[in-house]
Structure 1
Amino acid sequence: MKNTEPHYLKHHFLIAMPHMDDPDFAHALVYMVEHGPEGAMGLIVNRPSGLSLADVLEQLRPDSEPPALCRSLPIFSGGPVQTERGFVLHPAGPQYLATLALESRSLSTSQDVLFAIADGHGPDRHLIALGYAGWEAGQLEQELIDNAWLTCPATDDILFELPYDQRLNAAAMSMGIDLSLLSTQAGHA
């Protein structure tokens, strides 16, 4: 009997195919926070915005100098939706004012997690992003049919340990795929 249950990609990576020409997603690696019949939400995890945590803290706490460490903590461009909204992806553990448990990971959206990171008692491993990537019901499924993305399970090593510029290729290599060998032309067999 054939399994007719839909396959959802929560906790997976979306790897942009080389022919992806959408500037929001070309060469992107997206961590899928949620995917279901209503649509999907993810964070681009390999595109720094040019801002640091110090830049954000200067806006949130203008009367306090951010710790020097915060200058080296990048803020990522998480996607083109709600680019003023912040998200902190981190391993499961501490709960903050607005934290969504994602099994082995958590997604926090309240300022207290940023203050905790800056003050040295937040999650050791984290990814801070402004904005997110979103898909309406059926939209991501159509993009997958159109060969816009490869998918693989997400790993903490790629999310939190690797430099951002190595994440896309590492995710592809986790499936034995060298992106540089893939054609930039879309097609169907």
Structure 2
Amino acid sequence: MKNHTPSYLKHQFLIAMPHMADPNFAQTLTYIVEHNANGAMGLVVNRPQELSLADILEQLRPDEEPAPRTLNVPIYLGGPVQTDRGFVLHSPECSYQATVELDGVSLTTSQDVLFAIAEGRGPQQSLITLGYAGWEAGQLEEELADNAWLNCPFTPDILFATPNELRREAAATSLGVTLSLLTSQAGHA
């Protein structure tokens, strides 16, 4: 087997193929935050939970009445790991205690961003997840080789300007792929 340098997918979207059986990832679109020789970390960005920002603020600041606008801010299930930990993907014009710049989008893991969003002075665009998806070294590469995923370049529009139920399709369309035409037999000739 020829040894080649792996191409890492940091700052790309992973589109779950239609035959993805893992219930954690079936029908998902995942933003890859980090991918290197040690593994990968991503956030599923199209699975809203039965939670709103108001619910989370009640836990963080039980003495304060959450602002009405926080009732409609959805919380997404970012993945099956550390589901009590918050991750906020947002437009890069604001920075907080724990913010990482990711080329056109920022990731914040400190609570101050949630309070800023609640008070109406947060980033212009944001998506809040609880939990993340993690892959061990080489695991994501194997799954890609098995045709479990398609990958495409990240675009903020898909993340922030597309309704969650259309994000996966929009990402596939950016590759010229129509997911509904892919059968579960793809890649298993």
Task: Provide the aligned length of Structure 1 versus Structure 2.
Answer: 188
Shift of 1:91: 1.9
Q: Is the 8 A contact 2:104 2:156 kept in 1?
A: no
Q: Which residue number in structure 1 is paired with residue 32 of structure 2?
A: 32
TM-score normalized with structure 1 length: 0.96
For residues 99-126 of structure 1, the C-alpha deviation after alignment (integer angstroms, 9 at most, x for no partner) is 1121221111111000000001110100
Q: Which residue number in structure 1 is paired with residue 132 of structure 2?
A: 132
- Structure 1: state its 5+ residue gaps: none
Partners of 2:125 and 2:184 in 1: how far apart?
34
Q: Which residue number in structure 2 is paired with residue 176 of structure 1?
A: 176
For residues 142-183 of structure 1, the C-alpha deviation after alignment (integer angstroms, 9 at most, x for no partner) is 000000000000110000111100000000011111100100
Partners of 1:179 and 1:84 in 2: how far apart?
32
Q: Does 1:148 align with 2:156?
A: no
Q: Which residue number in structure 1 is paired with residue 86 of structure 2?
A: 86
Partners of 2:83 and 2:161 in 1: how far apart?
24
Shift of 1:95: 1.5
Partners of 2:124 and 2:64 in 1: how far apart?
22
What are the within-5 Å matches in structure 2 for residues 15-54 of structure 1?
15-54=15-54
Partners of 1:177 and 1:167 in 2: how far apart?
13
What are the within-5 Å matches in structure 2 for residues 33-112 of structure 1?
33-112=33-112
TM-score normalized with structure 2 length: 0.96
Identity %: 66
The CA RMSD measured in Å over matched residues stands at 1.5
Q: Which residue number in structure 2 is paired with residue 121 of structure 1?
A: 121
Hey, which bits of structure 1, 4+ residues long, moved more than 6 A? none
Shift of 1:6: 2.2
2:114 is paired with a residue whose SS is helix
For residues 66-88 of structure 1, the C-alpha deviation after alignment (integer angstroms, 9 at most, x for no partner) is 11111111000000000000000
1:95 is paired with a residue whose SS is coil
1:142 is paired with a residue whose SS is helix
* Paired AA for residue 101 in structure 2: A
Partners of 2:118 and 2:38 in 1: how far apart?
36
